[in-house]
Structure 1
Amino acid sequence: MSSDDWKRQAAAEALKYVEDGMKLGLGTGSTAAKFVDLLADKVKAGLKVVCVPTSEATRAQAAALGIPLATLDEHPALDLTVDGADEMDEELRLIKGGGGALLREKIVAVASERVVIIADSSKRVDLLGRFPLPLEVVPFGLAATQRLITGFAADSGCEGDIKLRHGANGAPYVTDNGNHILDCSFGVIDDPEALDDALKLVPGLVESGLFLGIADVGIVAGPKGVEILSAVESDFDEEM
């Protein structure tokens, strides 16, 4: 089987957490797109849900498939969000933002009672940092912001190249929120919490791709089958 097949397996497993009448957050990225496809089949079969997408790309996909959509202003409290990740460790700490939607993804996730992360086994890591950490930053004062990020990250034990992300046209990548992305190649992040706290001190940094204490369940599919990881034992786990 291919990684594409494993992504679909993880997405199919996540459908078990969806109940009729739920308000759902829809993630962004190749794995989350598999979930949207499968959810659309359930909607066509009669499942009643309303969904808040985390990006314009996900919104377009879901709308084309006939999934009922709403905004977070209309439904500020969601039952469940299903999203992917660029990295996931044993404690369900994540790096997200490879698709450029990290700010909306975090807003939607935190607005959700429960968050399920789906991934193929290549995203599973012992320590975060192999994937460059994305940071969403405002365009104004970019050089000053990057300088502060470099300093605060170093104080937290993280050093490495910090590069402005560019799009296919060679111009700086622009998020759905009109911001830019800095990709930070820090290597292993020994203390993600310390780095996250430090980055919050940078005024021009809107949000980081560190998702800590947010995921409730991780679904990882790979050569050994489907594995379910839980952040803590809860009624959510017992229900499943």
Structure 2
Amino acid sequence: MTEPAKRAAGRAAATLVQDGMLVGLGSGSTMRHAITALAHRVHSEGLRIVGIPTSTETEALALTHGITVAEPDATPVDLVMDGADEIETGTLRLVKGFGGALLREKIVAQSGRRFVVVADASKLVARLGQRGRLPVEVDRFGQAASARRIAELGGAPALRCDADGTPFETDGGHFILDCMGFGLIRDPFTLDRQLRAIAGVIETGLFLLPVEQVLIGTDDGTVRVLAR
């Protein structure tokens, strides 16, 4: 995805925000453009919003741009905007977590009245699993035992590691197993239930909650809108 396409999708998402909103701020490179565009509106229009960030990186970026932030609470979030790693055409079901923020992303997404996704055409798939892996967030304690149970489901899990070989840690201090063996996921609801029934599994990268629309940025700077 080129920077003009990312910028177009991010700016389009920022235009959906209205004064007084609680806004869920997702993670990733396209969301950085959305946050930058949103900050411009805060300073140029006097837009009063509170951002609910899905990662420490997003929180730091929002604060740098002068956006007030808070944790999610009992108050519904008016609008959540986030990226995705796979978007199933037609259903708009998602796979997320390639960047490692899936638990916090799902907490914020489920707190929202509206959920909008920003992405590029390379993230569109005919069936979830097409890009080859499903992230699963697990507790550090007993992660090998959790991995064994996931392997019994056919997941072929591999512990995600940083460049130096140490296990990647999420913002919550958990590990991620990248599951390469599920292939095309024809029944994501059943797979999600099976994975979440395993002790030690904290969250899966299957995002099956309703998506209002997907904003697809293009190289010429235009945006295509997809809806279910």
Q: If the length of structure 1 is used for normalisation, what is the TM-score?
A: 0.88
- Distance in 2 (CA, whole Å) between partners of 1:134 and 1:6 is 26
Match of 1:129 in 2: 129
**Of 11-20 and 98-107, the range deviating more from structure 2:** 11-20
Residue type at the aligned position of 2:84: A
Structure 2 residue aligned with 1:204: 200
1:6 aligns to what SS in structure 2?
helix
Q: Which runs of 5+ in 2 are unaligned?
A: none
Counterpart position of 2:169: 174
Q: How many residues are paired up?
A: 223
Q: How does 1:45-60 map to 2 (within 5 A)?
A: 45=44, 46-60=46-60
Partner of 1:188: 184
5+ residue gaps, structure 1, are 232-240
Contact persistence 1:24–1:50 (CA under 8 A): yes
Measured in 2, the distance between the counterparts of 1:198 and 1:6 equals: 37
For residues 162 and 215 of structure 1, the distance between their equivalents in structure 2, rounded to whole angstroms, comes to 28
- 2:33, 2:137 → 1: CA distance? 25
Q: Give the superposed CA RMSD.
A: 1.5
SS of residue in 2 equivalent to 1:63: helix
| SS in structure 1 of the partner of residue 113 of structure 2 | strand
Q: Percent identity?
A: 45
Write out the 4+ residue segments of structure 1 that deviate beyond 3 Å after TM superposition. none
Q: Which residue number corresponds to residue 228 of structure 1? A: 225
Aligned pairs for 1:29-44 within 5 A: 29-44=28-43
Q: Which amino acid aligns with 1:149?
A: I
**Letter of the aligned partner of 1:60 in structure 2?**
A
1:173 is paired with a residue whose SS is coil
Deviation at 1:223, TM superposition (A): 5.0
Aligned equivalent of 1:237: none
Work out whether residues 127 and 189 of structure 1, in 8 Å CA contact, stay in contact via their aligned partners in 2. Answer: yes
Q: More deviation in 38-47 or 105-114?
A: 38-47
